[in-house]
Amino acid sequence: MEKVLVTGVAGQLGYDVMRELEKRNIAAAGADIGEFDLTDEAAVLEFAAAARPTAIVHCAAYTAVDQAEDESEKAYAVNVSGSRNIALAARQAGAKLVYIGTDYVFDGEKDGAYDADDPKNPLCVYGKTKLRGEEECKKIVPERLFIVRLSWVFGKNGKNFVKTMLQLSENRNEISVVADQKGSPTYTPDAARLICDLTRTEKFGTYQVSNEGVCSWHEFATEIMRQSGRDMWIRPVTAAEYSTRARRPQNSVFSKKELDENGFARLPHWKDALKRFLIEMEEQPS
């Protein structure tokens, strides 16, 4: 019988993967920090052995991008050692593994969309540890692995750019947002549907997933204000002006070649996804 183990269910993506599995009446075991310490190999293997999954969707990660610059050991422990432990659990169970990756594995200097196999050159600790997590999984379960890279993630359950913009608009008339970094937002319910579709197949490999359409953070913020009917001026600034602890890629646009070649439908446009997210937030406030 099909059974999916999902890690990081308290986060944005894990939450929506669990919801999608429930909609499909697929048996699921959800895990977060309360269930086991990801960095404890014995605890991970014990939990997985009891769950007996046919697939594992590994959403758990250290995702505090700027904080990771000062907590590199912790980020490494969770994103590298933790992912290794999950891969060992997948191998032990004979389960398929979905590893959730990131656009931060690239340096963002390419002019066009990034192909999945383009050279990797992460600019920050977070990106480096997520790339190492990919590599660990490839070593341990090379034949039963899906790597799913996401970019600019937003969803109901957790902190994200859309929620931050909406909160700031409550008591500010103006905000500065970076206008020279481009990419594609990814709505977690849309990504969750694709991930669940993947787990039903044997089409293993690396997939790059985001909603369709490309924008800058400034364009994203402007559309958030437009769709939500807020009146706040979004002032465009450069990434150099808006300095952050961790460097981010200037270009996070993905090629979707692998989705197309393997017959998976692309996700809807990000503006459509934003519209649905705002409706979801109105109907079910967090």
> What φ, ψ does residue 146 adopt, rounded to 5°?
-110, 125
Instruction: Give exposure, 243-267, as e/b (b: 16+ Cβ within 10 Å).
Output: eeebbbbbbbbbebebbeeeebeeb
Percent of the chain with pLDDT over 70: 99
pTM: 0.95
- SS3 percent helix, strand, coil of the chain, rounded to 5, is 40, 20, 40
Q: pLDDT band at 242, cuts 50/70/90?
A: confident
Contacts of 5 (CB under 8 A, 6+ apart): 28, 29, 31, 48, 51, 53, 55, 56, 57, 89, 95
Q: Which of 99, 126, 187, 207 is catalytic?
A: 126
Tens digit of pLDDT for each residue in 66-90? 999 999 999 999 999 999 999 999 9
The arithmetic mean of pLDDT across residues 5-15, rounded, is: 96
The reply to whether 62 belongs to the active site is no
Place of tokens 């429930």: 22
Query: To which CATH superfamily is domain 3-160+185-213+252-269 assigned?
Result: NAD(P)-binding Rossmann-like Domain (3.40.50.720)
Mean of the per-residue pLDDT values of the chain: 95
Alpha-carbon distances, residue 255 vs 131, 133, 136, 162 (angstroms): 18, 21, 23, 24
The amino acid present at 139, given as its one-letter code, is K
Place of tokens 């594992």: 56
Q: pLDDT band at 284, cuts 50/70/90?
A: low
- pLDDT of residue 285 exceeding 60, the answer is no
Tens digit of pLDDT for each residue in 159-213? 999 999 999 999 898 999 999 999 999 999 999 999 999 999 999 999 999 999 9
Are 38 and 8 spatial neighbours (Cβ–Cβ below 8 Å)? no
Percent of the chain with pLDDT over 90: 92
Q: pLDDT band at 286, cuts 50/70/90?
A: very low
Angle value at C-alpha 102, between 258 and 56, nearest 5 degrees: 75
